[in-house]
Amino acid sequence: MTTARRSPSHCPFSTEGNHRMQLGLVGLGKMGYNMRERLRNHGHDVVGYDPRPEVSDVASLSDLAAALEAPRVVWVMVPSGHVTHETIVELADVLEGGDLVVDGGNSRFTEDRPHADLLGHTGIGFLDCGVSGGVWGLESGYGLMVGGADADVARVMPIFDALRPEGERADSFVHAGPVGAGHYAKMIHNGVEYGLMHAYAEGYELLEAEDLVTDVPAVLRAWTKGTVVRSWLLDLLVKALEEDPELAEISGYTQDSGEGRWTVEEAINHAVPAPVISAALFARFASRQSDSPAMKAVSALRNQFGGHAVQRISESG
């Protein structure tokens, strides 16, 4: 049931100047598992819990709390909504005053204040942290957007510094404001991501539609250096086309995680025009009604950067 613990003496990353911490990590899925590895590589002591015993270090949240020295810091990395809420409710029972919970999942920002209040009744602190980086974060690091009290943020800073990419802290980390600000910032980040992905996808479809262009993947690759549209997302689209030049094995059916919807709702609430993000969200809805090359490209991009499942042609009937 337990996984091998890495000795800090074999740490491949420098921890000089960083305070080594002990952290409880709840949720060892695609991102949580890699986050545990990255933190251990930086010399931190991470005790992970997951319902799947083959990846978990302990058998329950109670065992997790018992394995950590007080005052504890527990990072929650589970699906948003009901699962996150139930996890925080259970943590409120097994943790104690002086402990701190970080919600690093994609929770809606409106859920953060109720969770902070729930934990605060027993003196447990709360931070919300939007995390970007997907399945590449283990090697490349994660972009972090945090909401909460200054003292709580400072307490977890060694963990944040280990998770983010090397370089200037401000390039990949922000204390965005009080509780809720981190998840709000991440929500808008994901809304922007929707628009960026769809712009690349529409460009891909237009290139495919013109017979004059004989090598579409090569055109996109030529945009990756020196042009004003170069980006990591473009690099990932080029990678997806290298693996499947016609995207023949991918259906255009594209899910949405919820944050695009929330972003559009916030645009309406604040009377902020957001036609690009809105159109990208609606295009995902359209993808479930009919197939299109553009939506295949969006689906391929989501698989590349986040490991999100794609629907294969063979699965769609």
Catalytic (active-site) positions: 186, 193
Give how far Cα 287 sits from Cα of 77, 171, 255, 275, 294, Å. Answer: 29, 35, 9, 18, 9
Amino acid (1-letter code) at residue 69 = E
Alpha carbon distance 112, 163 (integer Å): 22
DSSP 251-265: -S-----SHHHHHHH
Q: Give dist(CA 107, CA 183) in Å, integer.
A: 7
Write the CB contacts of 34 (distance below 8 Å, at least 6 apart in sequence). Answer: 135, 137, 138
Give the closest residue to 72 by CA, choosing from 57, 81, 61, 83: 61
* Angle between helix 181-209 and 232-243 (nearest 10): 50
Cross-sheet strand order for the sheet of 125-132: 45-49, 22-26, 73-76, 100-103, 125-132, 143-147, 173-177
Distance (Å, whole) CA 200 – CA 126: 38
Q: Do 101 and 76 form a contact (C-beta atoms < 8 A)?
A: yes
Beta carbons within 10 angstroms of residue 109's beta carbon: 22
Query: Apex CA 299: angle with CA 27 and CA 250, to 5°?
Result: 115
Kindly report whether the peptide bond that precedes residue 8 is cis, defined as omega within 30 degrees of 0: no
